[in-house]
Amino acid sequence: MLMKKIDLEARQVPFGLGIIIFIIDQLVKSYVTASMQLGQSVPVIKDVFYITYVLNPGAAFGIFEHQRLFFIIVALVLLGAVLYFRKKLLQENYMIQYGVGLLLGGAIGNLYDRLQNGLVVDFFDFRFWPVFNIADVAICLGAALIMIDICFRRDGNDTDIQG
């Protein structure tokens, strides 16, 4: 009984990761908005990496601008799907669980921004790539983990990685 409880608690850690991502994302965004002027850019590594305060009307990396309602619906559907399939997700391997946790934390982080002011706060600026935030990184990492798991998942009978 104790081992079953420990295993269940361990399997809930990836969902806690989503909460942690959301909190860190919002704390950093709050710091950026409180301490910088919109459009201000502070060099971290000159000519390479800056913290630049921008408001993004689109999705990750500025794609699909001004589709606020669409992204709100997508985030709410994702949240609903995770809640609905929560028990099934707890039976998945850790790659899927951590991927979903990252994806969910990032989606909720950007959803919160969209609900607050219609725009997403972005700040990581490498000058050769659109400005982005912690939630965007979490979404991309989560999606990558899920895709890697799906592409390389091995069934019990598989003997090679190509499945």
Residue 122 bears catalytic tag: yes
- How far apart CA 29 and CA 26 sit, in angstroms, is 5
Tokens at residue 158, please? Answer: 């598989």
- 55 neighbors 38 (Cβ within 8 angstroms): yes
Active-site residue (options: 136, 155, 158, 160): 136
CA distance 61 to 35: 22
* Cα gap 114→135, rounded to integer Å: 13
Kindly name the residue from 25, 113, 122, 125 that is annotated as catalytic.
122
The DSSP 8-state label assigned to residue 58 in this structure reads: S
Q: What are the tokens at 5?
A: 């409880």
Return the structure tokens found at 120.
């997403």
Annotation says 149 is catalytic: no
Strands (DSSP E) found in the chain = 41-45, 49-56, 120-125
What amino acid positions are annotated as catalytic residues?
122, 136
